[in-house]
Amino acid sequence: MRNSILYALAFASGVLCDDATFLSRPDLQPSLLNVTKNDDSDKLSDDYIFIAPWVPGEIPQAQTHIGPHIFTSDGELVWTGYGYLANSIANFMPTKYNGEDAMSFYEGNVGDTGVGFGSYRLMDQSFDIKAKVGLKQPFLHDFHEFQMTGQHTAAFSTYHAVPYNFSDVDGATDDNKWVFENIVTEIDVNTDEVLFQWNSLDHIHVNDSKVKDTLQSDGKDSNRPFDYMHLNSIEKDESGNFLISCRHLWSVYYIDGKSGEVIWTLGMSDGGSDWELEDVAEFGYQHHARWVDPEVIGKDKEDDVKYISIFDNGKSGAANTTPLRENPRGIILKLDSSDGATSDKDKIGKVTLVQDFYPPEESDRSPSQGSVQVLSNGNVFIGWGSTPKVSEHTVDGTLIFAATINDGDHESYRAFKGPFSGKPKDVPALVSVYNEEDDKTKFYISWNGATDVKSWNLYGGDAEDDMNEIKSGISNDKFETTYEADGYYAYTKVEAVSSNGSTIDEGHAQTYFQK
């Protein structure tokens, strides 16, 4: 069993520092969820919440509250990666790798243009990095998407600045010379071998873009290419094809996983749509397109009917862009290609709105980022992107849970729920503080990332090898547990106890004095 004497960094001249979020771990400066609605906990998914607060394009050296975080379903902190990982982490999500529950995230730079240049990591539930992905190509990759496509295969997004002839692009001038080519790559995670690669300029014309007015400022040099497409999500389906979302085209595309040809386009790009959209199903500047299992949302499976979820931002917020709508929303759409679904013989079928989901406050706006996740219990979990909030809804749109990240000053690109069983390799943290005035010792106990601890057993005494039980069965239901006992104990120890009564690990501490 691992043992450690834990010396409290929060103490200076024997005085307890009140500025630490958690006194057992004053070195951590985590984000917290400020829960504003939790009216019907019985309807909530039991899964854990995964977010990675950040300040895109602005990562000060002393930045606090950033990095990957995991919370219980009702918003209590379980694990923070603050200080354990770099200061620019995004797209933190639960996944599977080689059949085991794992987590993936992007690590790298994020510029003020909303584009990333970095690579990806896969981490197990003991917080060990198991794979570093995207290191063998002659360019860096983007934060928007990293999605496992198999046991050890994954697809991800890349923005590659390339010279371009803009002569056939509306609104372009001779000053416009550079464009971002978006790349979809599928690799073998174990080897970094490229299995499939798709280049946007081979298949989608730059003139299809909905943001050509930004050519007034963009596309003039390689540091700020024209971002005509803005790829932000990729999902491979059971047929081996890829569904991709392109924010600056107001469209999603279905790509053949072998030839790379565009099978169909759905949306409002200047290149048109292969589907008829009813007015309430229109979307713009969207993120995070995903296939939806109809049975999970209470629909029958039909051969000619598919469902997708999308985070519909509605607006961009960038200069020289035209909004579709002011309010963001999550949406589930029905794609019906059965006979008679549309009267337009040039269309594959008709797209209708199944359900939309609105943010916790009517005034909330999300001009960038965001995610929609249909959960296994039929609920819908939404990360509101540049509005630093998360919410959970029943499938009929009813809001049952809402929380703000900190005080609303830290965004999370996406937010997810998923299974988690944390088994950290460090030991429980214990700080013991004796108050001479009232002759009491207060204990602060935590274990960053541990999910199997049901209770704590607390011991104290005059020597490390001579301690008696102070209290057993102290409930563990928060990130940090506090307990107070009469008297002074020079040395203290805490045992982490599982639900079956076995001791998982222990932490030791010397007691500090406070007047």
In 3-state terms, what secondary structure has residue 200?
helix
pLDDT value of position 512: 86
DSSP string, 205-268: -GGG-S-GGGGGTSSSSTTS-B-SS-EEEEEE-TTS-EEEEEGGGTEEEEE-TTT--EEEEEE-
Query: Tokens 């990332």, residue?
Result: 449
Q: What is the pLDDT of residue 113?
A: 77
**Exposed e or buried b per residue across 389-419, where buried means at least 16 C-beta atoms within 10 angstroms of its C-beta:** bbbbbbbeeebbbbbbbeeeebbbbbbbbbe
DSSP state of 281: G
**Residue 130: per-residue pLDDT:** 97
Number of domains in the chain: 2
Give percent of the chain above pLDDT 70.
95
Please check the confidence at residue 367 and state whether its pLDDT lies above 80.
Answer: yes
pLDDT (tens digit per residue) in 288-297? 999 999 999 9
Is 39's pLDDT higher than 50?
Answer: yes
| Coil vs helix vs strand at 76 | coil
Average the pLDDT over 158-183 and give the result: 98
- DSSP-based three-state secondary structure for 182: strand
3-state SS, one letter per residue, for 89-109:
EEEEEEEEECCEEEEEEEEEE
104 in any annotated domain: no
Per-residue confidence at 57, pLDDT binned at 50, 70, 90? low
Question: pLDDT tens, 418-434?
Answer: 999 999 999 999 999 99
pLDDT at residue 136 in the model: 85
Helix, strand, or coil (residue 42):
helix
> What's the pLDDT at 511?
87
Does residue 160 sit within a domain? yes
Geometric angle at alpha carbon 410, from 406 and 412, rounded to 5°? 110
Provide the pLDDT for residue 10.
34
- 6: pLDDT strictly greater than 60: no
Helix, strand, coil shares, percent, the chain, to 5: 5, 45, 50
**pLDDT range class, residue 4, cuts 50, 70, 90:** very low
Mean pLDDT of the region 473-498: 97
Q: What is the pTM of this model?
A: 0.95
Cβ within 8 Å of residue 248, ≥6 positions away: 209, 210, 211, 227, 228, 229, 230, 285
- In 31-136, where do the E strands start and end? 33-38, 48-54, 69-71, 77-80, 89-97, 100-110, 116-123, 129-133
Residue 155 lies in a domain: yes
Using the predicted structure, report yes or no on whether residue 467 has a pLDDT greater than 60.
yes
- Whether 382 is covered by a domain: the verdict is no
Domain membership of residue 68 (yes or no) is no
Domain boundary pick from 273, 302, 325:
273
Name the region of 229 (left: φ>0; alpha: ψ -120 to 50; beta: rest): alpha
> Do the domain assignments include residue 505?
yes
Q: Which of 180, 259, 198 is nearest to 234 (CA)?
A: 198
- For the residues 469-480, what does the mean pLDDT come to? 98
Distances (CA, A) of 255 to 71, 93, 144, 240: 35, 24, 18, 9
The domain spanning residue 475 has which CATH number? Answer: 2.60.40.10
345 with 331: CB under 8 angstroms?
Answer: no
What's residue 59's pLDDT?
55
The 10s digit of each residue's pLDDT in 201-255 is 999 999 999 999 999 999 999 999 999 999 999 999 999 999 999 999 999 999 9
Domain end: 273, 297, 313, which one? 273
DSSP 421-433: ----SS--EEEEE
Residue 49 and residue 71: Cα distance in Å, rounded? 5
Question: Dihedral, CA atoms, 29, 33, 34, 40, nearest 10 degrees?
Answer: -160
Domain assignment of residue 246, yes or no: yes
What is the per-residue pLDDT across 262-287, written as a single tens digit (0 to 9) for each?
999 999 999 999 999 999 999 999 99
Among 375, 278, 296, 250, which Cα is nearest to 334's?
Answer: 278
Residue pair 345/328 in contact (Cβ under 8 Å)? The answer is: no
**The pLDDT of residue 11 is above 70:** no
Structural domain range at position 464:
429-513
Q: Which of 3-17, 59-73, 89-103, 273-287 has the lowest mean pLDDT?
A: 3-17
- CB-CB neighbours of 242 under 10 Å: 23
Q: Residue 177 — pLDDT band, cuts 50, 70, 90?
A: very high
Residue 494: inside a domain, yes or no?
Answer: yes
* Average predicted confidence (pLDDT) for the chain: 93
Of 273, 290, 319, the last residue of a domain is: 273
DSSP 226: B
The model's pLDDT over 190-208, given as tens digits with 9 standing for 90+, comes to 999 999 999 999 999 999 9
